[in-house]
Structures are given as structure tokens and as C-alpha cells.
Amino acid sequence: MAFVRVLLIIALALGARTAAQSSAPPALACLEQVEGIAWSHEEHEAHEDRHSADPRLDDTCASVGKPVFRSPAYVADADITALRIVSWNINVGAGRADALIPQLLEQAGSRTGVVVLLEEAFRAGWDVPDSYPRRLRVPHAIRPRRPTLDVVALAAQSDLWLAYVPSMRNGTAVSPSQREDRGNAILSTEPLRDVTAIELPFGRQRRVAIAATVVPRGSQSRPIRVVVLHFDRGHAHDAQAAALAARVKAFVDQKTMPVVVAGDLNSAKGIHDRAVAALGDVVHREDACGTGRTMHWPLRLDVFFLQRLDFMFSTLDDFGLARTCATLKHTMGSDHVPVVMEVRVQVEKLKSGKVEKWKVEKWKVEKWKVEQVKVLQ
């Protein structure tokens, strides 16, 4: 009888321990480590009860695949003197990125690197989960043009570096041929280092910005930190902008390298929007890129309802870097037009060999002939 009591006590103790373990909030699935990509999610580390307080984040993360970090199969030596940085919301495949990117590479030549910051990029196939939590309200599918290359295939097409972080599932489809997720991406001819996925405050939908250091090939070129973003609409819009501005400021204050921040701010009030002001307080707003509307609706109804949504910001002036910037005229299938900046990145040593300076004084800025870009419909 005593032996039975002992067994009963042990069983009860083990049961209580198991219950305690099961009641502990599980780790956030979206923060799973991926080689080549680090996470910035101080908000979740600071609040241990985040999962139980707002299960939408983990449910959303469980519905998407892992981030992707890709390096080219072969990287040739080069002496890169300039970077052409393109920011574009491609409307989940509607924009003809599969045609524009090869065209950018062809026009760039051998001494200009190309960095493409994509918003609303998508990834399709087996890497997207075949199920999702039942209680999750999955965002509706945006599939304006299929079949077309997803973001992984876009990078493979031109053998580019790629950092892709999905923010949400693209519709409820679960078959391998139709299931997709969508988010931001960085594609580059130049090596990407220190890639960071920045989890922003949860709003109507999950949003994740991506930061990466672009390291131009060649011993005389300096790296640039780039950040791609796509803010939500609604109540979390300003909070997301404030959170990202704080992260960017922390890096800018280190004064280690120039920063370029670009993307779709969903800024309903254009240059007067709070999100634009929040980032503009930290990094210079590049008004040379343009101040007009960047989203085009059918019949141009955007003229009555929208201001500029897509912006570029930078600290290039702090490092004496010359650049030129323009907003293209054509959507090329998307509902947004691309914004293009070209930055001179080469440096030279003074004769003393002790000091480096930015080689910009004698460089004449040559504006990219945007009117020559083909209309890719």
C-alpha cells in the first residue's frame, strides 16, 4: 500500500510539472533563426507575456515560411564605383520585375552595382506551410498576374544576392501550386552582410522591415546600409514608423556608414504624414526623388484620394556622397511606380596614405535617363 502511495505521489508530481511546461508560452515561430538573417525584436524580449496577450503574431508566423538568404553561385571580381538603388512595390507579382531587373543590370554596366528593394514581393511553393491556425484571419490573396516568377526565382534568374522575409500569408490556398506568402525583399549584385529582420508593432497585419549592409566589390568602395519597409494602414501606422525610426537612429548614431531607407510608407498625407516626419527626423528625406504621387489607380482616381506613398531617406550628405534620384513615370504592371537613386560610392586615399576621403569633388553627377526605360506592360 505504501508503494502505491509513492507511485501516486510521483505521478501527481510529474503531471503538475507537465502542466506547468504546457502552460508556458511557446517561442514565437516567426523568430526562428535562419542562417544569414538576424532578428531585431526587442519588443518581444521585453514582454514575456506577449504571446498570450496577442496570439495573432504567432498565428501569422505559423502561416508563412522561413525567411530566405541567398548568395550567388559565382561572384566575379569588379571595381564598383556607384550603386543604383531601386525601391518598388510590385503589387505581389503584378509589376514586371522579371523584365525590369535584367534591364537594370544591362544598363548598369560593369562598374555600377544594382540593389533592388521590393515591397509586396511573394514566395510560392513547398517552402510555404500547407496549413495555418484555424483561428487566423488570413489576408486575402493578391494574385494579379500568374504564372510569374516569385522572389526566389527572380534572384536565381540573374544570380543575385537575396534577403526575403515574409510578413504574411498570401491567401488561404494550401496546394503546392498555389500557396504563397508575401513581404519585403532585397536583391543585389553586391554582397549583403549583417542582414536584420526588424519586427514592427502588430497592426491590421504583420509588418517586417529588412536592413542589410551592401558591400560593393572593389577595394576603393565603401559599404552602405539599406533598409526596406512597408508600413501598415490604420491604427498601428504611426507606431510602426516610430519603432523603425528608433532602430534607424540607433544605427545612424554610430556614424559607421551611410544609410538609405526606402519603401512604401502608406502615407495618406504624403510629405505631411506623421510616418514621413518620424523618419525625416532621423534621416534626410530625399525630395530630389520627387514629391508627386507614386501609386496609380485605374482611371487615375488616385488624383482625388492619394498623396505620395513611396519615399527615400538617407544620411548620404553626412558622408559627402553625391547622388541623383528620380521617380519613374510608368508602373510597369504594378500599381506603384519605382523610385531610383544612383550613389557614387568609390573612395580614394590621399597621397599621404593616412586618410581616406570621398571621391566626389570631381565627379559630375549624370542623371539616369529615366525616359528611356521601356514601358513593360
Backbone torsion region of residue 133, taken as left when φ is above 0, otherwise alpha when ψ lies between -120 and 50, otherwise beta: beta
Distances (CA, A) of 322 to 310, 314, 364: 21, 12, 9
8-state DSSP, 313? E
Indicate the CATH number for domain 29-372: 3.60.10.10
What is the distance between the alpha carbons of residues 186 and 214, in angstroms, rounded to a whole number? Answer: 10
| φ/ψ of residue 10, rounded to 5 | -65, -45
Helix or strand (DSSP H, E) at 213:
strand 208-214
What is the distance between the alpha carbons of residues 183 and 89, in angstroms, rounded to a whole number? Answer: 10
How would you write the pLDDT of the chain (377 residues) with one tens digit per residue?
A: 555 454 554 454 444 444 333 333 445 666 778 899 999 875 544 444 444 456 888 899 999 999 999 999 999 999 999 999 999 999 999 999 999 999 999 999 999 999 999 999 999 999 999 999 999 999 999 999 999 999 999 999 999 999 999 999 999 999 999 999 999 999 999 999 999 999 999 999 999 999 999 999 997 889 999 999 999 998 899 999 999 999 999 999 999 999 999 999 999 999 999 999 999 999 999 999 999 999 886 644 444 457 899 999 999 999 999 999 999 999 999 999 999 999 999 765 444 444 344 333 333 334 444 444 444 43
Q: Which three cell numbers stand for residue 261?
A: 531607407
What is the distance between the alpha carbons of residues 325 and 283, in angstroms, rounded to a whole number? Answer: 16
For residue 147, whether the previous peptide bond is cis, meaning omega lies within 30 degrees of 0, is: yes
Parallel, antiparallel or unpaired: strands 180-188 and 112-124: antiparallel
Q: What is the pTM of this model?
A: 0.85
Output the DSSP codes for 148-190: ---HHHHHHHHT-EEEEEEEEE-SS--STTT-EEEEEEEEESS
